[in-house]
Structure 1
């Protein structure tokens, strides 16, 4: 049986923040944000989770999440709580080719070059994924790749109709260095912090991904 203790409290909070941001459940998000701060996530780390969510759930959800976070921080400051700011991302070297960097990052995470008829049909989305998501965003070192994949899996698990993308990112999560036990811990954290629907969706697909990896 999955045990959420396999996942650190910070990463459990990351999952809940991402899941509720993706679906726009702002009261639940506010609670998850407070839990994340209390678990030791910095303001910069939480900002990064919320910013990344625009790539999976759109700008409106990400902006609403950031607004909710701002209001929470103001309330906590008024209560005398000074949360740690954390580090800003290290700037990329001048002249970095983000398309080449993103292609390299995507290939490493996916385990092979990502290509197919969809990207031939709409090459712009291929370029945006490589240059912006896996280049600009994944190159930001405020979060490590494992934390980014926990956020992504949690967000996709809490959305309807994105099982294909969720399956892909469960595989990417393994390639990022997360263990099967940690991913089962993520499923358990989704069950206790988000709800059974997200946990069941992620758990069933994780079983398939792990079975395929052993075959």
Structure 2
């Protein structure tokens, strides 16, 4: 079980994750490259940024994730040539628990959401339920490079900058509130989305958030 912390505002590193995930989702590699520089300057390790970009494939698809990883590789090499020293960071611990990815993922998903996840959609398409539990919440969310709070910040940033996924954004706002992100930090999140992605994207993100909060 991950320990939840409730800081009054998002840290500089947490703030830096937001445009990285958002521009990965939209495929804006120019803005992504600038955000990667800012994130590394803010103290994110290379492994933390790389982990965000790997996770993004589950939400944005392999093409966006692979392009973003290529951009990170180019930025890291560029910074090395400039004499900048970025911290590599930790490697993920292997899953040594005597459990399957499905068992681990089911436990993680239940903890993240606050209750077991069931529904007609998953009865209709049980394969997607299996993949969500075993791969996303098992193989990916069990990796300890990022906290669940960091993973949820990256997730809502990506979803906010994608069209047609408001129901998923709504769900992940709820998951965020269950995993160490406060109401104040979510309002700060929409402000940062406005700063990086513009009014239209931010207005939609704020509307969805207001619905979740009953504002």
- For each residue in 1:14-58, what CA deviation from the matched residue of structure 2 results, as whole angstroms up to 9, or x when unmatched? 010000001100000000000100100000000000000000000
Contact 1:13–1:32 (8 Å) recurs in 2: yes
Q: Once superposed, what is the RMSD of the aligned Cα atoms?
A: 1.3
Map 1:40-119 onto structure 2 (within 5 A).
Answer: 40-93=43-96, 95-119=98-122
Structure 1 runs (4+) greater than 3 angstroms displaced: none
- For each residue in 1:141-166, what CA deviation from the matched residue of structure 2 results, as whole angstroms up to 9, or x when unmatched? 10000000000000000000000000
1:12 paired residue number: 15
**Structure 1: where are the runs of 5+ without partners?**
none
- Asked if residue 33 in structure 1 is aligned to residue 23 in structure 2, the reply is no
2:26 paired residue number: 23
- Asked if residue 170 in structure 1 is aligned to residue 182 in structure 2, the reply is no
Number of residues of Structure 1 aligned to a counterpart in Structure 2: 208
Deviation at 1:173, TM superposition (A): 0.4
Q: So what's the TM-score if we normalise by structure 1?
A: 0.94
- Find 1:186's aligned residue among 166, 186, 189: 189
Contact 1:158–1:197 (8 Å) recurs in 2: no
Contact 1:190–1:198 (8 Å) recurs in 2: yes
**Structure 2: where are the runs of 5+ without partners?**
1-7
Contact 1:98–1:132 (8 Å) recurs in 2: yes
**Cα distance in 2, alignment partners of residues 59 and 16 from structure 1:** 19
**Cα distance in 2, alignment partners of residues 75 and 21 from structure 1:** 19
Q: So what's the TM-score if we normalise by structure 2?
A: 0.94
- Find 1:210's aligned residue among 201, 208, 213: 213
